[in-house]
Structure 1
Amino acid sequence: MPRTDVVILTEDRYANPNLAHWYEQQIATEDGLVAEALRARGLRVERRSWADPDVDWRDTRCALFRSTWDYFDRFDAFGRWFDQAATQTRLFNDAATLRWNMNKRYLAALREAGVAIVPTVYVARGVATTLGDILAAQGWPEAVFKPVVSGAARLTYRVDTTTAAAHEAIFADCVAAEAMMVQAFEPAIISDGELSLIVIDGVTTHAIRKTAKAGDFRVQDDHGGTVHAHTPDAAECTFAEAAVRACPELPVYARVDFVRRGPGDYRLMELELLEPELFFRFHPPAAEALAEAIVRRLGPSAPAA
């Protein structure tokens, strides 16, 4: 019989968070809200790093991805661990959904399913092309390029037709090392910010709006961005929930990041299913909703997967 029902997954840096540091305290708050909600429903909960060599993943009924934010920096090691853990316990979100979401080519699949995305061009590793060629072919005045496996704005650059030449060497080095993507730059990121709707079990629970600091375009708070509470309207909820329903399987949790071009005109930036910050501190009942969703899937006395 497994001794634990749920292991909340983090990474080595945050396994023992420093509560005197605002960022780590924030992580502890978010993970703590989920842990408390699960324990209130009678589940045995631990919080461990995915890379902890002392964990036997057969000894828990499920593992819940939360702050595993180094996976793209240690992708080979993470991939080996993931493949093994998926055979030993149940993962939330499920393993197939997470594998699909690790590579940002999933956006092309969502586009084919009818979800409006930010216009995107994918560049396979080693392909000979330039930013100038892509901008000219697409007719884009500005673009952002980044790896297809990434997060936290890693190797993310904004260019336009006048600055692309200065970035060609960086882009060439990136493409030589890994697959990349180039997306049309959405001016609404600067003027309005990025909306993030949190969807639990297919239903929007709450939302936030992220804005970049002056002179930047990256909205993440670890790059100086600011997070604001946001009350989503019906059209925004409809867009976010439709994007989630377009996944191969309905995820337990999702964060839908998109921009508003105008009333009712949205473009998906990312559909975060692996380890998104879900901003429970803005709406603690969403942590309760996530706990309920996990309990429904596990069942009160379900055996280990």
Structure 2
Amino acid sequence: MSRASSKTLYDVVILTDVRYLNDSKIDHYKHNVYYEDRLVYHALEQIGLKTLRLPWDDMFFDWSSTKAILFRSTWDYFDRFDEFSDWLEQVSDQTLLLNSETLIRWNIDKHYLLDLDQKGIHIAESHFIEKGAKTTLAQIHDILNWKLTVLKPCISGAARHTYKLTSETLEEHEAIFQELIKKEAMLLQPFQHNIVNKGEISMMVFNGHFSHAVLKTAKAGEFRVQDDFGGSVSHYTPSEEEIKFSERAVSACPEIPIYARVDMFEDNNGKTTLSELELIEPELWFRLHKEAAMLLAQGVLERIRSLGDMSHNP
């Protein structure tokens, strides 16, 4: 377990990226990011934790001067993955990461879905295309006999290079596919009609326990539910089955994360299905459930206290 130095100045540093460091009165999206991070900031301060909010790539901050760092809106990491990976390795030796480096590195690549599948978590049907594969989209679709699919990178975020494919559009996407597969692994999945028709449920789970949920729906004519693409978010009251599913998915992780977002939907066969398990920097919609910020803050306090207890034990 990593340790901060004996000259700690802060209990928690909340991590963002520089684009979202300051509030905006004209950009609604940036304001929401700032506002949600501030809700967490104030909750941490309210329970007595000295807190700071910084971009993860701040060159001048001594990361050993904080007991813990909490990943929140670090939404440029997948565009700067090599740089982020090097930074992650360095900072993990200096302080406590929430979530841990182990969880981040496991969750950063969508191959983690195979681990969850092996542990009995129902995932969307998936076909992984490894980096450097010598194949074409037409060949893959022919072998799998899939007609309508979604292609995405195994390391991605904000729907980067996510494409809806049909037999008529394979040829026009072939060039970008060949360019991508030279550099990174890709994931192909059958198109899930219910994500468009019914929406995708996001379940927030703190320290293994369900907190709250939202329903994400795509705008007309769009298949991606992210607000980057015009998607909308509303309150959602999940069933007991959905709550149990989300908590089981989190319990299947290599370790219990302090926060997790379980994205789930009803698949084409009508079965509750995991879409993604977000453990690195998920939007958690505190603006719709302000009390949840305190749940997260209390979990952070418990982790810091347990770290302190361990440091005093031989």
Q: Which TM-score band applies after superposition, normalised by the shorter structure?
A: over 0.9
- Conservation of the 8 A alpha-carbon contact between 1:235 and 1:264: no
2:212 is equivalent to residue 201 of structure 1: no
For residues 19-38 of structure 1, the aligned pairs below 5 Å read 19-38=25-44
Equivalent residue number for residue 249 of structure 1: 255
Q: Percent of counterpart pairs with the same letter?
A: 45
For residues 1-305 of structure 1, the aligned pairs below 5 Å read 1-261=7-267, 265-299=271-305, 302=308
| Secondary structure in 1 matching 2:69 | strand
Q: CA 1:264–1:124 in 2, change beyond 3 Å: closer, same or farther?
A: closer
C-alpha offsets along residues 142-162 of structure 1, whole Å, 9 cap, x if unaligned? Answer: 111111110001010000223
Most deviating of 278-287 and 125-134: 125-134
C-alpha offsets along residues 170-191 of structure 1, whole Å, 9 cap, x if unaligned? Answer: 2111111211111111101110
| Secondary structure in 2 matching 1:195 | strand
- Conservation of the 8 A alpha-carbon contact between 2:69 and 2:98: yes
What is the CA distance between 1:262 and its match in structure 2?
7.8
What is the CA distance between 1:94 and its match in structure 2?
1.1
- Conservation of the 8 A alpha-carbon contact between 1:142 and 1:185: yes
What is the CA distance between 1:280 and its match in structure 2?
0.7
What is the CA distance between 1:304 and its match in structure 2?
11
C-alpha offsets along residues 186-216 of structure 1, whole Å, 9 cap, x if unaligned? Answer: 1011100111000011111111111111111
Most deviating of 122-131 and 101-110: 122-131
In the alignment, structure 2 segments of 5+ residues that lack a partner are 1-6
Number of matched residues? 305
Distance of 1:88 and 1:249 partners within structure 2: 20
TM-score when normalising by structure 1: 0.96
Distance of 1:170 and 1:288 partners within structure 2: 44
What is the CA distance between 1:301 and its match in structure 2?
8.8
Cα RMSD, aligned residues only = 1.7
Distance of 1:304 and 1:52 partners within structure 2: 29
Most deviating of 268-277 and 179-188: 179-188
- Conservation of the 8 A alpha-carbon contact between 1:61 and 1:304: no
Amino acid at match of 2:76: D
Q: CA 1:81–1:301 in 2, change beyond 3 Å: closer, same or farther?
A: closer
C-alpha offsets along residues 30-72 of structure 1, whole Å, 9 cap, x if unaligned? Answer: 1011111111110000000000111100000000000000000
TM-score when normalising by structure 2: 0.93
Which segments of structure 1 move beyond 4 Å, counting only runs of 4 or more? Answer: none
